[in-house]
Amino acid sequence: MIPRLGVNIDHVATLRQQRGESYPSVERAARDTLMSGADQITIHLREDRRHIQDADVSPVHQQCTHFGKPLNLEMGCHPEIIDLAINENPEWICLVPEKREERTTEGGLDLSTPEAFKRVFEACEKLKKHLPKTKISLFVEADAATLQASLKIHCDAVEIHTGEYAKDFLKDTDLSHHLKQYQEGARIIRGANRGFHAGHGLTFESVVPLLELGVFSEYNIGHWMMSEAMFVGIAQVTDDMLHLFKKFPLKIK
């Protein structure tokens, strides 16, 4: 089995919002990415609407439906966004922490205190009640305590925050502690028959040691792919990434 590639197209909207114009089209980005064989489109509807807008969600979802691929809607646990998701009924929802002042998602969900745990727990209960067919992943750090806590929540997968790993890769520092933690994390999560996904900060180069590890069944990659797309186009960068993934079948069932 080959890992799935979810392409995060938020930054097409970043470019559009920067000028307040109607281009570049997020819907066209979704279509071209899916036409090249991407396994999923990921978009993050942030509370501050800095890139993806409410009006983007349905057209992108329609493109996904047209190609028979899932829409993965990343979102915080805010009630307004939860209601919007309930209305849209995406195939996947990835719950993420959200701070207005951060430039991008800076870490995984906090499940360490009773209040923080309850917030995520209740968001998942509400989503599962209204959207029984939608699968939910929790964006979390890979430490054992967080992963064990995630097992007490009604969800289908975790997406491991690879941001620190990706930064260490770019600094050329030792990666072995990250890789060991991912391997151990996979045992906890796969043992409970849940999905083990990865995302954040990954590039064509930094994804390779993770593909070699073979424990992540899905990767969500955005910023690097959209940056590379400026030079080679969205279709080509998607095709290149899919070719890379094909060289690394999963080492888990």
Any idea which residues carry the catalytic annotation? 44, 74, 200
* 32/74 with CB nearer ligand PXP: 74
What angle in degrees, to the nearest 10, is found between the helix axes of 26-35 and 54-67? 20
User: Does residue 199 bind ligand PXP (CB under 6 A)?
Assistant: yes
CB of 164 to ligand PXP, least distance (A): 12
Tell me the chain's radius of gyration from C-alpha atoms: 17
Q: How far apart are CA 1 and CA 242, in angstroms?
A: 13
Interface residue with ligand PXP, options 67, 92, 121, 139 (CB under 6 A) = 139
> Tokens representing 166?
């990706």
Report how far apart, in Å, the C-alpha atoms of 68 and of each of 31, 42, 85, 157, 159 are.
12, 14, 19, 21, 22
CB of 111 to ligand PXP, least distance (A): 15
Q: x/- string (CB under 6 A) for ligand PXP, residues 53-82?
A: ---------------------x--------
Backbone angles phi, psi at 158, to 5 degrees: -115, 150
CB of 220 to ligand PXP, least distance (A): 4
Asked if 197 contacts 216 with a C-beta cutoff of 8 angstroms, the reply is yes
Identity (one letter) of the amino acid at 125? Answer: E
**Span from 16-24, 117-125, 174-182, 196-204 in contact with ligand PXP (CB under 6 A):** 196-204
User: Does residue 10 bind ligand PXP (CB under 6 A)?
Assistant: yes
Residues in contact with ligand PXP by CB under 6 A are: 8, 10, 44, 74, 94, 96, 104-105, 139, 159, 199-202, 220-224
